[in-house]
Amino acid sequence: MSSTDRAVEAHGLVKTFGSHRAVDGVDLSVRTGSVYGVLGPNGAGKTTTIRMLATLLRPDAGSATIFGHDVGREPFVVRQLIGVTGQYASVDETLSATENLQLFCRLNGLHGAAARRRSNDLLEEFDLTEAATRPLKNFSGGMRRRLDLAASLIAQPPLLFLDEPTTGLDPRTRAQMWATIRRLVATGSTVLLTTQYLEEADQLADRIAVIDHGRVVAEGTGDELKASVGAQSLQLTLVDADDVTAASRTVEQVLGTSPVASPEARRLTVPVDDATRVTDVLTALRAAAIDLAGLSLDKPTLDEVFLALTGSPTDTDVTGTDDAGDVPAGDVPAAGSRTETRIETRTKTHPETRSDTMEVSA
């Protein structure tokens, strides 16, 4: 594999702050033109990793190349290839949106009319034209992020680092940011983004690295990660709630595992290792004259993957992991402000809202 089809290639990156190993041997390989998600809780080492890749921080050990250029030996070349949008908007608070963009245009070698044109284009593209001359201190969080991203795009860098691009944004603004990121990828950008939101990584990223305590604990596509956790789970909804006991017995006879029953919902849930066994279950149920209202076969959610891989719910900056609400998986996690953000740790999602759910009407 040649180095040019790899936007990012990192081996054994280490960064120590005092006695704390913030990043402890991270390997990453990002294909050009893809979206790569680095998923992990606060303090997992995501930001430190990005800062090392973006030449903002010197690694204590290991090496990294951006499109084949070493971040340590050719930092100036690397900086011509990347755009960085930080966790907290890195724009100048005392300047207006226009002044910010024009400053960064000049620093990117655009002057005079070219700088003005590019700034105006970006303001329009990111829906900031109306607020262009207002002081930044009156900007909402979403507007700041958009301006920040616009500033990163002036030089049209082939690689973009987005450090938690949607942390602290409300669901609507988050959805807009997702759309923007997808549009960028369509123009040929490679994106490396970090996130604490499992849903975000699942939605946007082609490949995901799960990082915890400075180490990559798993890497693969969203589907691969889910598959690595093993069993899919079968949900059966009965027509008649009185059948629950009989149905449970039948399912246990076929699969050898007793299902979890929720009589109110007339629903049974049972893990299955082999999806083809579902046919056996259905046949046995028909033989027992138990009618089904519906069934679904779900892959495990990334939340379950995360729990399985790190052995614990994300332990920092997460509130209410135990009473995680009933948010449909297709929606973004509720996040009006930083303190409200949370990572969904439900063990089950609504089958009807999951795109990768196989649903059969009985």
Interface residue list for another protein (CB under 8 A) = 4, 7, 32, 51, 54-58, 66-69, 74, 76-77, 79-84, 86, 88-95, 99, 103-104, 106-111, 114, 117-118, 121-122, 125, 135, 151, 153, 155-159, 183, 186-189
CB closer to another protein out of 91 and 332:
91
Cβ(335)–Cβ(198) below 8 Å: no
Rounded to a whole number of angstroms, the minimum distance from the CB of residue 39 to another protein is: 22
**Residues contacting residue 348 through CB under 8 Å, at least 6 positions apart:** 233, 235, 269, 298
Measured in degrees and rounded to the nearest 5, phi and psi for residue 234 equal -100, 130
Rounded to a whole number of angstroms, the minimum distance from the CB of residue 339 to another protein is: 20
Per the DSSP assignment, residues forming a β-bridge with 284 are: none
Rounded to a whole number of angstroms, the minimum distance from the CB of residue 91 to another protein is: 6
Cβ(182)–Cβ(162) below 8 Å: no
Rounded to a whole number of angstroms, the minimum distance from the CB of residue 42 to another protein is: 18
CB closer to another protein out of 89 and 204:
89
Measured in degrees and rounded to the nearest 5, phi and psi for residue 314 equal -55, 125
Determine how many CB atoms are found less than 10 A away from the CB of residue 115.
20
CB closer to another protein out of 76 and 322:
76
Rounded to a whole number of angstroms, the minimum distance from the CB of residue 66 to another protein is: 7
CB closer to another protein out of 30 and 307:
30
Determine how many CB atoms are found less than 10 A away from the CB of residue 308.
16
CB closer to another protein out of 158 and 313:
158
CB closer to another protein out of 69 and 354:
69
Rounded to a whole number of angstroms, the minimum distance from the CB of residue 117 to another protein is: 7
| Dihedral over Cα of 75, 81, 87, 93: its sign | positive
| Dihedral over Cα of 174, 178, 180, 184: its sign | positive
Cβ(217)–Cβ(309) below 8 Å: yes
Residue type, 146: R
